[in-house]
Amino acid sequence: MATGWEAWESYFYPETYDPATQQGTLRNKFGERDAHRLDIRERAASAARAQQLGAGLVDIQRSFGIEHLQAIHRHLFQDVYDWAGEIRTVRMQKDEGSEFAQPRRGEVQELLDQVQEHVRSVQWHLIDRRGFVNNISAVVAFANQAHPFREGNGRATQWFMRHVAEPTRFQLDFARIDRDAWNEASAASSPRPDRTWIDPRPLIALVDGATISRYGEYPTPGPRDLRSELRRDPEQNTGPITGPLGPGAGGPGLS
Write the pLDDT tens digit of every residue in 194-233.
888 999 999 999 999 999 998 875 444 443 333 333 333 3
How far are the Cα atoms of 105, 127, 200, 226 from residue 130, in angstroms, in the given order?
Answer: 35, 8, 14, 8
Report if residue 2 sits inside a domain.
no
233 φ/ψ angles, rounded to the nearest 5 degrees = -60, 120
* Residue 104, pLDDT score: 87
Q: Give the H/E segment covering residue 139.
A: helix 129-146
pTM of the model: 0.84
Q: Which one-letter DSSP state was computed for residue 12?
A: B
* Residue 155, pLDDT score: 96
Q: Is 32 helix (H, G, I), strand (E, B) or coil?
A: coil
* Residue 215, pLDDT score: 83
* Residue 255, pLDDT score: 36
The string of pLDDT tens digits covering residues 157-181 is 999 999 999 999 999 999 999 999 9
Residues in the chain: 255
Cβ proximity of 245 and 136 under 8 Å: no
Distance CA 155, CA 47 (A): 10
With CA atoms as reference, report the closest residue to 135 among 197, 33, 208: 208
Report if residue 1 sits inside a domain.
no
Task: Domain count for the chain, please give it.
Answer: 1
Give percent above pLDDT 90 in the chain.
75
With CA atoms as reference, report the closest residue to 190 among 209, 172, 203: 203
Distance CA 26, CA 39 (A): 10
Distance CA 229, CA 42 (A): 40
Report if residue 81 sits inside a domain.
yes
Give the domain range for residue 45.
Answer: 8-245
Report if residue 250 sits inside a domain.
no
Mean pLDDT across 69-86: 98
Mean pLDDT across 143-169: 97
Distance CA 26, CA 14 (A): 10
In the predicted model, is pLDDT for residue 247 greater than 70? Answer: no
Report if residue 254 sits inside a domain.
no
How far are the Cα atoms of 100, 114, 115, 132, 185 from residue 137, in angstroms, in the given order?
Answer: 17, 14, 11, 8, 11
The string of pLDDT tens digits covering residues 62-76 is 999 999 999 999 999
The CATH number linked to 220 is: 1.10.3290.10
Report if residue 139 sits inside a domain.
yes
Report if residue 255 sits inside a domain.
no
Report if residue 251 sits inside a domain.
no
* Residue 11, pLDDT score: 95
Bigger pLDDT: 219 vs 98:
98
